[in-house]
Chain A
Amino acid sequence: MELTSLLNTFLGKVIISVAGVMVVFTFNALIAVWLERKISGHIQLRLGPMEVGPHGLLQSAADGLKLICKEIITPQGVDKKLFGVAPYMVFFPSLLMFIVIPFSDRLQVQDLNIGLLYFFSISCIATIGIFMAGWASNNKYSLMGAVRSIAQSIAYEIPIILSILNIVVLTQSLKLSEIVKAQSNMWFIIPQFVPFIIYLISAIAELNRTPFDIPEAESELVAGFHTEYSGMRFAIFFMAEYTNMFLVSAMATTLFLGGWNGPLLPPIVWFFIKTYAIVFIIIWVRWTFPRLRPDQLMNFCWKFLTPLALINLLVTTFILKLF
């Protein structure tokens, strides 16, 4: 009795939400890392982790434990405050972004009116964290990685926003639950296929993953902005990366693949199936293509993706006005 009344208070909701988000966060980080290693393994004619747990399922947990146990090294000459804060600046935005994700018709931490706007504004903060990491590291490779990261983020925010504007125009709402409900008859991927592709490409670029992984290009910049990081601080960057991968996939599901809509299975299962399908595509792309050069990346964004997204938006609004 007391417990239920506690749960109904605002504080209770906050506690449950934080716990829930942390569970999804940890679960996803473990599963996504394992998936990446398994999928990459099978793409590369090998098996991937097999030793720890059945088919290496516990490998990520073991790796995480190892990283937690390692000494936190602060190299000489770094800006200690920035260096320590930077990983959390990358990490917390990805936690905050969970708030608006509609996992099912009832499971959503806070259904904000401006959910879509909130999601993409918070995602920009992580770039500041990356720049802090690169700047504070006192390493030329890190700095170059950070500079590349800024240029890339600014460039690829624009096609992302332009492509999701199509959805906003169609639904006339920034509320994610309404966007999902609007897709109960037809997923937006069917009328809006081009924006979906633009979104996916830009999202991979936002994630700094191959073929757009220029900020951490390991063969050029050693490890880019996190060259000097090790132990738990590195693990936080790493977890943030995989969480962001889940988040952009979840957003793609919500905006284009009908969110939790689907027959037979419960909504939350549909949501996770679709999200991990997108995660699979992102992993697949990573292990297939080489990396673009920074200037090619910029050209591709400014000269191809952005105009294409603009034209698409124009066409969408025009057709909507006609009918």
Chain B
Amino acid sequence: MEEMKDIRQDFYVNMGPQHPSTHGVLRIVLRVEGEKVISSETVLGYAHRGVEKMAESKTYVQMMPVMDRFDYVSSMLYEWAYVGAMERALGIAPPERAEFIRVIMGELNRMASHFLWVGAFLLDLGAFTPFLWVFDARERILDMFEEVTGQRMTNNYFKVGGVHYDITSEFMKMLNDFLKMIHERMQDVEVLIESIIFLERVKDLGFITKEDVLNYGLSGPVARGSGVFIDTRKTEPYSVYDRINFEIPLGTRGDCYDRYRVRMQEILQSAKIIEQAVEMLPEGPYTEKAPKIVKLPEGEYYFAVESARGLLGVYLLSDGSTKPYRFKLRVPSFANLSIIDKLLPGNKISDVVAILGSIDIVVPEIDR
């Protein structure tokens, strides 16, 4: 028996940075015993480009397109946070119409991001078909973006004082068609996804308690899946969200299934928000007159929006010049990922991808 103890049964598996389900270049070093994970260590930095430092040598306007490239699946929400911080500093309020256009675009982008997540999550679990079913819906959103902004993903659409282009009648037609089909499509997707195998895989897996949510600073669907009411759109309403009637879906148990349910319901809630915003959309200018060269007055500015992944904050420290003295992002993926090393031990290797998938990370956002 003594000799047996000396034989090490555990070994290390290097998951990533090149791995199909680490969603980019994330690396997780797993110590496993057979299929069981004993401990894990997350290694970051493979997509680090030093963008926060780079921002200090670029003017505020030059930084605008770079904001799209952190979280490339919900880029508009990133633009919103950055533009919001600058508008707060300059004391500019965008016109009504611009605010509603921003809400429509932001919610569409949240839907696109959640669609991508649903597809990728099921891909992690080994089902290929839901990926393409939701991509069909996501493709329609990207087509709408292309119609208005000229770009499908990195839109560079928001600007200080409003948006770059007005929405077109063609866009409104596409949007109406989309809103009509979305409920039916979501039902189809749910029927396809929620097979008994899926439920067996994701239920009672990767519990996050309410205490953990607060201790680790989690936000977004990950926090709401555990039943914690954190949503910047409700708790600190920005733009016109206080005038729109919508609900925040909450989970009860905090397992992977709850996080999945929360995101699926959020897609429908986003559709509800868009429907209201379209109805309330006023006529008028879509942009306010704003200075060509943005110079923020000296001081610290912070603006937070609810990105598709959680609380996204932009912090700007200005010395009064055309460039920020310090530029800092509070990104949701980074905080949400921090709990992964607590969730993984004790689970099987197959569950690693399920838990990681349920957290919904975007690596360029984490590494910046």
A residues near B (Cβ < 8 Å) are 40, 43-46, 140-141, 144, 147, 210-211, 213-214, 217-222, 287-296
Within the assembled complex, what's the spacing in Å between the Cα atoms of A217 and B128?
A: 12
Q: Which residues of B contact A294 (CB under 8 A)?
A: 35, 348, 350
Within the assembled complex, what's the spacing in Å between the Cα atoms of A303 and B19?
A: 33
Q: Which residues of A contact B197 (CB under 8 A)?
A: 211, 289-292
List, sorted by A's number, 18 A–B pairs whose CB atoms are closer than 8 Å: A40-B129, A44-B132, A44-B133, A45-B132, A46-B132, A144-B35, A147-B34, A210-B126, A211-B197, A217-B350, A218-B20, A219-B126, A220-B349, A287-B128, A290-B201, A292-B197, A293-B350, A295-B348
CB-CB nearest in chain A for B22: A219
CB–CB B20/A222 < 8 A: yes
Known: A45-B132, A288-B127. 6 other contacts (CB 8 A): A217-B126, A219-B20, A289-B197, A290-B197, A292-B200, A294-B350
B156 to chain A, nearest CB (A): 30
Within the assembled complex, what's the spacing in Å between the Cα atoms of A43 and B129?
A: 7
Within the assembled complex, what's the spacing in Å between the Cα atoms of A44 and B348?
A: 30
Within the assembled complex, what's the spacing in Å between the Cα atoms of A294 and B133?
A: 27
Q: Determine which of B19, B35, B195, B348 lies in contact with A290 in the assembled complex, contact meaning CB atoms within 8 Å.
A: B195
Residues A214 and B350 in contact in the complex (CB < 8 Å), given A219-B20, A296-B200: yes
B355 to chain A, nearest CB (A): 12
B residues near A (Cβ < 8 Å) are 11, 13-14, 19-21, 34-35, 122-129, 131-133, 136, 192, 195, 197-198, 200-201, 348-353
Within the assembled complex, what's the spacing in Å between the Cα atoms of A295 and B34?
A: 12
CB–CB A290/B126 < 8 A: yes
Interface of A is mostly: loop
Residues A213 and B350 in contact in the complex (CB < 8 Å), given A290-B197, A293-B201: no
CB–CB B126/A211 < 8 A: yes
Within the assembled complex, what's the spacing in Å between the Cα atoms of A210 and B129?
A: 12
Within the assembled complex, what's the spacing in Å between the Cα atoms of A295 and B124?
A: 17
CB–CB B11/A140 < 8 A: yes
Q: Which residues of B contact A222 (CB under 8 A)?
A: 19-20
Q: Determine which of B11, B20, B35, B195 lies in contact with A289 in the assembled complex, contact meaning CB atoms within 8 Å.
A: B195
B142 to chain A, nearest CB (A): 16
CB–CB A45/B136 < 8 A: yes
Q: Which residues of B contact A221 (CB under 8 A)?
A: 349
Q: Which residues of A contact B192 (CB under 8 A)?
A: 288
CB–CB A290/B198 < 8 A: yes
Within the assembled complex, what's the spacing in Å between the Cα atoms of A217 and B350?
A: 9
Q: Which residues of A contact B129 (CB under 8 A)?
A: 40, 43-44, 287-288
Q: Which residues of B contact A289 (CB under 8 A)?
A: 127, 195, 197-198
Q: Which residues of A contact B195 (CB under 8 A)?
A: 288-290
Within the assembled complex, what's the spacing in Å between the Cα atoms of A222 and B14?
A: 12
CB-CB nearest in chain A for B13: A140
CB-CB nearest in chain B for A296: B200
Within the assembled complex, what's the spacing in Å between the Cα atoms of A288 and B193?
A: 8
Within the assembled complex, what's the spacing in Å between the Cα atoms of A43 and B197?
A: 19
Within the assembled complex, what's the spacing in Å between the Cα atoms of A45 and B131?
A: 11
Within the assembled complex, what's the spacing in Å between the Cα atoms of A19 and B200?
A: 47
Within the assembled complex, what's the spacing in Å between the Cα atoms of A140 and B131?
A: 28
CB-CB nearest in chain B for A288: B129
Q: Which residues of A contact B125 (CB under 8 A)?
A: 219, 290-291
B367 to chain A, nearest CB (A): 22
CB–CB B353/A219 < 8 A: yes
Q: Which residues of A contact B136 (CB under 8 A)?
A: 45
Q: Which residues of A contact B132 (CB under 8 A)?
A: 44-46
Q: Which residues of B contact A220 (CB under 8 A)?
A: 21, 349-350, 352-353
Within the assembled complex, what's the spacing in Å between the Cα atoms of A147 and B124?
A: 21
Residues A213 and B126 in contact in the complex (CB < 8 Å), given A45-B132, A219-B21: yes
